[in-house]
A = this chain, B = another copy of it.
Amino acid sequence: MKGVVCLSKDLIQQMADFKKYKIATLGSHTALQILKGAKDEGFETICICQKGQKRPYESYNVADKYIEVEKFEDYFEIEPQLIKENAIVIPHGSFVSYLGFANVKKIKAMHYGNRDIIEWESDREKERRWLLDAGLKMPMIFERPEDIDRAVIIKFHGAGGGKGYFIANNADEFYKRMKGHPDAGKRFVIQEYIVGVPVYSHYFYSPLSGELEVMSFDKRYESNADSVGRIAATDQVDVGIRTTYTITGNVPIVVRESLLPKIFEMGERVVEASKKIVDRGMWGPFCLEAVIDPNLNFYTFEISARIVAGTNPYINGSPYTWLRYNEPMSTGRRLARDIKEAIEKDELEKVLG
């Protein structure tokens, strides 16, 4: 009888511990699933909103508290509130992009995930070294326009939503299209254009269990890349259309099941390689962005070392998470569960970084 009472006390203690923490994020990108997931795991949630952008979060009822800022860049002004609330901040794609890489380092609130990895994700050359070190196949990079000997895509550093990316087949076309381009002054990379279908693989790696999970897949819905094909070729030529790659949304997909062993392996290698480049490596959600060519080769062109918007179709679970979990498991919720388990095991420091 005594044993039972003791256990019960521990349980109460644990639950009390976990209730002391709140989950907070910026109201954008994947905040809906992060906050909903946190509530489903029993946390209180805080949504940091830009003025006039609270409406969706209220309508979908995902936050217990709202903190309004003029713009997300003002995050540091309200950070003391987050610290006072004992909130754990969840970074997402817009987070880094609004705060800037250098500023993320200055965050004083508890932060889920390893901030040191952002340096490797944000710098195309370091990112490339990491992924090649993990044994992934990547598109070739051309140092100089004069070297272009095949279809290439020109990607500008820090371009939000792939805006301004363009295709060229040789140096001439490169210079013609770069001339007068709005981003002409920015740094860019000349990448081999792999003709194949884009597939974004969503992973979750828990530092508590040491296990990698494949959560789901998506393809992006890009303007105008995903609509130029709706215009017959002759009309396109008449109208002089060029492809652009602004992300407007995401489409759920599943991949050929025989590709899954390779997809697991790729993710595991990337996690392993991350441990060599930064202390403690990368954990939590991440995404490999690849093109699959007609011979079923994966050409990875980018990694996102955090939750991606491609997981948004799966707020109520993906075909894959429904296999493993007997409840709706979004990537946002998986993340909250990782935090909860860390608190319950008294290992919170393992998931903060």
Chain A residues close to B by CB (< 8 Å): 28-32, 36, 52-56, 59-62, 94, 150-151, 161, 163, 167, 169, 173, 193, 195-199, 211-214, 217, 219, 221-239, 241-244, 246-261, 264-265, 291-296, 309, 312-317, 319-320, 322-324, 328
* A309 surroundings in chain B (CB, below 8 A): 256-257
User: Would you list 28 pairs from A and B whose C-beta atoms are within 8 A, ordered by A residue?
Assistant: A36-B323, A55-B265, A163-B294, A169-B239, A195-B228, A196-B248, A197-B222, A197-B227, A197-B249, A221-B253, A232-B243, A233-B237, A234-B237, A248-B259, A248-B296, A250-B253, A251-B252, A253-B313, A254-B312, A256-B309, A257-B309, A257-B312, A315-B320, A315-B323, A316-B317, A316-B319, A316-B322, A322-B328
* A224 surroundings in chain B (CB, below 8 A): 195-197, 293-294
* A295 surroundings in chain B (CB, below 8 A): 246
The answer to whether B261 and A53 touch across the interface, beta carbons within 8 angstroms, is yes
How often does this chain occur in the complex, in copies? 3
A162 to B246 Cα, complex, angstroms: 26
The answer to whether B317 and A248 touch across the interface, beta carbons within 8 angstroms, is no
Across the interface, A230 reaches (CB within 8 A) one of B55, B173, B225, namely B225
